[in-house]
Amino acid sequence: MENQSSQDFGFTQSDLGLQRPVEVKRTGFGYHLGFDSKLYYTNNAASASSGDGKEPSGIWENSLNNGFILGAFDLGGASFSPIISLGYSKYTHFGDDDIKSFDFDTLSISPNAFFQFSNGWTFRSGLGVMLDFAPRDGMEKTYQQISPTLALGKGFSLGIAQTAWEWSLAYHFTDSIQPDEDIMNRFETAFLWSFSIPINRLQISPYVRFAYVNYASGDRDDALGSLGLDFRYSFTHWLALNAFFNFSFRGSNNDDYDFTRFDGGGGLGLSAKF
């Protein structure tokens, strides 16, 4: 079985930059720090179509995320914020002995120019950089991705719920350990619709995402989809318990790349805002 990397993860690791509208300050600078530890089950750890590669697994995911808001500037009808996101995630698989070869670490850096308008519209342009490493092979780099991205979105209220949609365009320049290093180079356009429903200390967040992907190195086109539901219960402003369920799929004109996948589990999150 091949080593897994974050480009196999569907919605949760699609790396189109900031995937949901973010909270930005109207003035000044801001810093967001978050740590999440999750334990969950997947029925298809390698996102494989079928056969021996389609193996279930438990996954322990630990993620440290930093967000730097480098000021907020009033442009007259819009607020502009340069935002830099920096994250490191570690994925540890357990179950069958072969599953352990799927372990990987991911370093991500994403500078974005974020524009927020008074009528709820948002626009961002950014650059996502992602590096995958194999912790069981001396932290050898196994995958690299650089993704310039443009995205247009809008947020609004529905009763007590907040909802937002975003349409994004990205091109992924890649370097992998495959014989053809840039075989994963691809164009991606995606539509995301997410909700946030607060009920006292509980926040319920359903979402749906669809994407079309065209690969540069061959006659391959993919349709990707993901439906998910997140629950987050806040004990304090800095400590929360979370649970999530996600179903993702890929349909390709090359049947070897088709897959369906279910992930579900939960964990704890720590966060701070300054």
Kindly report, residue by residue over 44-79, the tens digit of the pLDDT. 999 998 766 789 999 999 999 999 999 989 888 899
> Residue 39's pLDDT band (boundaries 50, 70, 90)?
very high
CA 262 vs CA 10, 58, 69, 86, 102: distances in Å: 11, 12, 34, 27, 17
Lowest mean pLDDT, pick from 79-93, 166-180, 195-209, 228-242? 166-180
pLDDT at residue 99, as a whole number = 87
Q: In this structure, what is the dihedral angle of CA atoms 269, 45, 100, 215, given to the nearest 10 degrees?
A: -100
> Contact at 8 Å (CB) between 22 and 83?
yes
Calculate the CA 227 to chain-centre distance: 13
In a 10 Å sphere around its CB, with 0-12 CB exposed, 13-18 middle and 19+ buried, how is residue 160 labelled?
A: exposed
CA distance 163 to 154: 9
> Contact at 8 Å (CB) between 134 and 140?
yes
> Residue 25's pLDDT band (boundaries 50, 70, 90)?
low
Kindly report, residue by residue over 120-130, the tens digit of the pLDDT. 999 999 999 99
> Residue 24's pLDDT band (boundaries 50, 70, 90)?
low
Task: Please state which architecture CATH assigns to domain 6-22+30-273.
Answer: Beta Barrel (2.40)
Rounded average pLDDT over 232-251 = 98
Domain limits, the chain: 6-22+30-273
pLDDT at residue 8, as a whole number = 58
Calculate the CA 114 to chain-centre distance: 18
Residues 6+ apart with CB under 8 A from 36: 61, 62, 63, 65, 242, 267, 268, 269, 270
Residue 12 has pLDDT above 90, yes or no: no
Kindly report, residue by residue over 82-98, the tens digit of the pLDDT. 999 999 999 999 987 78
CA distance 100 to 57: 9
pLDDT at residue 212, as a whole number = 98
Chain-wide mean pLDDT for the chain? Answer: 90
Kindly report, residue by residue over 182-207, the tens digit of the pLDDT. 889 999 999 999 999 999 999 999 99
Kindly report, residue by residue over 112-156, the tens digit of the pLDDT. 999 999 899 999 999 999 999 999 999 999 999 999 999 999 999
> Residue 218's pLDDT band (boundaries 50, 70, 90)?
confident
> Residue 27's pLDDT band (boundaries 50, 70, 90)?
low
Vertex 83 angle, CA 81 and 87, to 5°? 165
